[in-house]
C-alpha cells in the first residue's frame, strides 16, 4: 500500500472508532469517559508518529500535488476525513460541556 492509502485507512478507521465511542456515550452518559478521552487526546496531541500534522506536511502541499497528480482524489478524500474527525471531536466536546453544565 502506498502512504496515501495508509493515511486514508488510518484516519477512516480512527473516525469510526471515535464515532462509535461517542455514540455509546450519547446512549449511556454514565459510561466511563476515560477511554474516549484517551482516544481523543491521542488524536489531538499525537505524540506517536506525529498524527494528522504529518499528513499536512506530506500530502497537503504543492510539491506533493505536482509529483502525484494521480493522487488528487485521495488527497481530497483525506482532507474530508480529517474534517469529519474535527467535526466529531468538536460535537463531542460541545455535548460533554452541555451535559456537565446542566
Superfamily of domain 3-101: DOCK DHR2 domain, lobe C (1.20.58.740)
pLDDT tens-place string over residues 4-22: 999 999 999 999 999 998 8
CA angle 80, 15, 19 (to 5 degrees): 120
Distances (CA, A) of 28 to 34, 95, 98, 99: 14, 13, 15, 12
Q: What is the H or E stretch that residue 17 is in?
A: helix 3-27
**pTM for this entry:** 0.84
Give the start-to-end residue ranges of the domains of the chain.
3-101
Question: Closest by alpha carbon to 39, among 13, 66, 64?
Answer: 13
pLDDT tens-place string over residues 57-95: 999 999 999 999 999 999 999 999 999 999 988 887 777
Amino acid at each position: 500500500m502506498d502512504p496515501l492509502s495508509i493515511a486514508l485507512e488510518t484516519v477512516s478507521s480512527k473516525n469510526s472508532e471515535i464515532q462509535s465511542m461517542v455514540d455509546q456515550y450519547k446512549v449511556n452518559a454514565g459510561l466511563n469517559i476515560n477511554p474516549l478521552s484517551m482516544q481523543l487526546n491521542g488524536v489531538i496531541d499525537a505524540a506517536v508518529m506525529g498524527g494528522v500534522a504529518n499528513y499536512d506536511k506530506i500530502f497537503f502541499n504543492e510539491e506533493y500535488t505536482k509529483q502525484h497528480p494521480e493522487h488528487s482524489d485521495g488527497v481530497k478524500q483525506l482532507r474530508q476525513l480529517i474534517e469529519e474527525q474535527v467535526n466529531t471531536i468538536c460535537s463531542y466536546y460541545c455535548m460533554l460541556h452541555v451535559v456537565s453544565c446542566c
